[in-house]
Chains A and B, each alone.
Chain A
């Protein structure tokens, strides 16, 4: 039972991290109708910025804020220079263009930071396990990830649902010509939204950096999971991304933790230890397929455009 609680926390933590990544992706996809494969590159850049600033300033928290701002700026610059030309074109053009950006940013990172990768060391107060229940120790840093991601989720909800800028974003998603005709600078709005999406991806990257270390191409595998999340959640829906991210995180982690043992109940030991890891890494894709069959629009389809 205690193990199950611990594994659920692990799943929740992975899920919330995926939410940070998927929220930006679904904002950009849902509102700007742009398929952004380079989202993982922004995740990587966030991590590199944080590691660099941490080495320069010596402060972990300070480095996170500086890196957040830097990724926001880079995101807006990328939108201005490259992505603006892709709006209104075919999705295949988006895929090609942003795939090019992946190659570009990987090489650029290699030139600037070198191929070896970096570390983002945690301050001592975050580097200890906490006893959350009698006998259950949990890394305090993973608890921090859970807290930060929940905070961002609430903030995002408030901004999108309760502020003027959020209203403009929602309006732009449902009818971009109309909102342009009403005198709103839609281009500026898009740049801003893309910047926010980039900062969210960067935040996910820098939160993950102390656990996974910082390296070239670190955003590419996790981006696939983020796409699974927004497809399950319904493209363009932040609420859907939130629910789907936690679902994916839990299924992935709990599956990895318990599936081999469950299989042992009705398979031979060696067959279970071969099939277990293979099956548990497929599990979320199976879930995605089932959900797509039942609800092709995802769990929480965004209001039709």
Chain B
């Protein structure tokens, strides 16, 4: 056996030598490349660019690119390179792509992440390597609590915050009993827990459905109808929101039981939900018509450039680019000064499209939540509109579990 191995290595010795020489050459080359690129900000952007939820990823990428346009294709005055990676909405793929960005691309920042389960799976290599992370959507409770980390920031929300606002609104509307339905993954569980935490009435039943492959909600709708609640609360992001609303109105429930939503109706799903979405309220920290200058600029330029309306996913991605820019500016381009960038980001010192906000101790925004409604716009198209402010300066409820103090 040993003879065999040495025989093999003898036979392959020239090949091995050749290979190692190539490797050395490659190393030298990459070393010289890093020297030349030292002044480039490298950002990895992980989102979903394939499958039925690719529309969300595209919206995020478009908004991130628009932000770079607005920044003159520079981050903090330095040239920027963005590497987009597709997580296919799968935690294992997300982890792989994240590791690739850290280990082989050696990015300075990672941004993106739509799905809470994908983010939770990908978090460890990011935190271990102390790569700066700006989350542009997912907000699992763990990250706001015990898994909070000095170099991890969010430009979105913690999952509970939006449904908490919906719960408040249901109280205002005098809802006494509610039935909750959502998908069975990290965010779905957070959302249902969130609405239950502020809703003062009684939760008469709840269902968690298999995610993402269960798209037929007939069993859950029958149960909800039989429970005779005053209201149904639902969380179904992406295309599942279209399917839920379709089946809700096919079952005749839309006229029977009022529906309250979180992240189910947005600019991406509305063109397919159409009239079914009229009269279905939702809560949101950003709506396209918020009266801030930077928001008007974002929405108008997005429409000109991409011929469609941006969604809240896009708004958060736009803010992610702006937050990174503010951090790099704050340390005057010294990308190795991570504590400096962290301190700068904690100030939220940029013009957010949602208006000014502060960071909680766990790096989750403290921000307003608005009631949004679907109305017919000037040209007959359906648009989302801010109706009222439900909660001012909402602070997520997991900050106490996060040991960070600053």
A297 within 8 A of B: no
Asked if residues B250 and A215 are in contact (CB atoms below 8 Å), the reply is no
A253 within 8 A of B: yes
Asked if residues B246 and A211 are in contact (CB atoms below 8 Å), the reply is yes
Complex CA gap A107/B398 in Å reads 43
Interface string of B175-217 (1 = CB under 8 A from A): 0000000001000000000000000000000111110011110
Identify A2's interface contact among B209, B226, B239, B247, CB under 8 A.
B226
Sample of 10 more A-B contacts, CB < 8 Å, known A115-B58, A217-B51, A260-B207:
A3-B223, A13-B218, A139-B252, A211-B250, A212-B216, A213-B272, A215-B239, A257-B220, A277-B184, A277-B207
Asked if residues B208 and A277 are in contact (CB atoms below 8 Å), the reply is yes
A45 within 8 A of B: no
Number of B residues, CB within 8 Å of A: 32
Which chain A residues lie closer than 8 Å to B51 at the CB level?
216-217
Q: Which residues of A contact B (CB under 8 A)?
A: 2-3, 6-7, 10-11, 13-14, 115-117, 119, 122, 127-129, 137, 139, 141-142, 210-213, 215-218, 221, 253-254, 256-257, 260, 273, 276-278, 281
Residue of B nearest to A252 (CB): B219
**In the complex, what's the smallest C-beta–C-beta distance from B331 to chain A, in angstroms?**
38
Which chain A residues lie closer than 8 Å to B242 at the CB level?
119, 213
Asked if residues B52 and A117 are in contact (CB atoms below 8 Å), the reply is yes
Closest 9 CB pairs of A and B: A129-B252, A10-B218, A221-B213, A257-B219, A3-B226, A281-B210, A215-B52, A277-B208, A139-B250
Give the total number of A-B pairs whose CB atoms are below 8 A apart.
Answer: 91
Complex CA gap A169/B246 in Å reads 40
Identify A14's interface contact among B206, B218, B243, CB under 8 A.
B218
Complex CA gap A11/B218 in Å reads 9
Residue of A nearest to B210 (CB): A281
Complex CA gap A2/B242 in Å reads 28
Asked if residues B213 and A213 are in contact (CB atoms below 8 Å), the reply is no
Asked if residues B239 and A211 are in contact (CB atoms below 8 Å), the reply is no
Within 8 A of A (CB), among B44-65: 51-52, 54-55, 58
Identify A273's interface contact among B206, B223, B226, B247, CB under 8 A.
B206
B251 within 8 A of A: yes
Which chain A residues lie closer than 8 Å to B208 at the CB level?
273, 276-277
Asked if residues B272 and A119 are in contact (CB atoms below 8 Å), the reply is yes
**In the complex, what's the smallest C-beta–C-beta distance from B197 to chain A, in angstroms?**
15
Which chain A residues lie closer than 8 Å to B218 at the CB level?
10, 13-14, 142, 253
Which chain B residues lie closer than 8 Å to A212 at the CB level?
215-216, 243
Asked if residues B251 and A137 are in contact (CB atoms below 8 Å), the reply is yes
Interface of B is mostly: helix
B337 within 8 A of A: no
Complex CA gap A254/B223 in Å reads 11
**In the complex, what's the smallest C-beta–C-beta distance from B235 to chain A, in angstroms?**
15
B171 within 8 A of A: no
Identify A3's interface contact among B184, B215, B222, CB under 8 A.
B222
Identify B209's interface contact among A10, A115, A277, CB under 8 A.
A277
Residue of A nearest to B308 (CB): A116
Complex CA gap A134/B247 in Å reads 21
Which chain B residues lie closer than 8 Å to A218 at the CB level?
52
Complex CA gap A137/B228 in Å reads 13
**In the complex, what's the smallest C-beta–C-beta distance from A105 to chain B, in angstroms?**
14
Interface of A is mostly: helix
Asked if residues B246 and A210 are in contact (CB atoms below 8 Å), the reply is yes
Complex CA gap A138/B222 in Å reads 9
Residue of A nearest to B206 (CB): A273
Which chain B residues lie closer than 8 Å to A6 at the CB level?
222, 225-226
Complex CA gap A215/B50 in Å reads 12
Which of B58, B222, B223, B272 is the most central at the interface, judged by chain A CB atoms within 10 Å of its CB? B222
Q: A129 and B222 in contact (CB under 8 A), knowing A217-B51, A277-B210?
A: no
Which chain B residues lie closer than 8 Å to A216 at the CB level?
51-52
Complex CA gap A256/B221 in Å reads 12
Identify B243's interface contact among A2, A141, A142, A211, CB under 8 A.
A211
Which chain A residues lie closer than 8 Å to B207 at the CB level?
260, 277
Which chain B residues lie closer than 8 Å to A217 at the CB level?
51-52
Asked if residues A117 and B219 are in contact (CB atoms below 8 Å), the reply is no
Identify B219's interface contact among A2, A10, A213, CB under 8 A.
A10
Which chain A residues lie closer than 8 Å to B54 at the CB level?
115
Complex CA gap A141/B219 in Å reads 15
Could you pull out 12 A-B pairs where Cβ atoms are within 8 angstroms?
A: A3-B223, A6-B225, A6-B226, A10-B219, A11-B219, A14-B218, A127-B249, A129-B251, A213-B239, A217-B51, A256-B219, A281-B210
Asked if residues B58 and A122 are in contact (CB atoms below 8 Å), the reply is no
Which chain B residues lie closer than 8 Å to A221 at the CB level?
213
**In the complex, what's the smallest C-beta–C-beta distance from A107 to chain B, in angstroms?**
10
Complex CA gap A253/B210 in Å reads 12
Interface string of B247-263 (1 = CB under 8 A from A): 10111100000000000
Residue of A nearest to B208 (CB): A277
Asked if residues B52 and A10 are in contact (CB atoms below 8 Å), the reply is no
Which of A115, A216, A217, A276 is the most central at the interface, judged by chain B CB atoms within 10 Å of its CB? A115
Q: A139 and B215 in contact (CB under 8 A), knowing A2-B226, A216-B52?
A: no
Complex CA gap A33/B206 in Å reads 45
Residue of A nearest to B222 (CB): A6
**In the complex, what's the smallest C-beta–C-beta distance from B51 to chain A, in angstroms?**
6
Which chain B residues lie closer than 8 Å to A253 at the CB level?
218-219
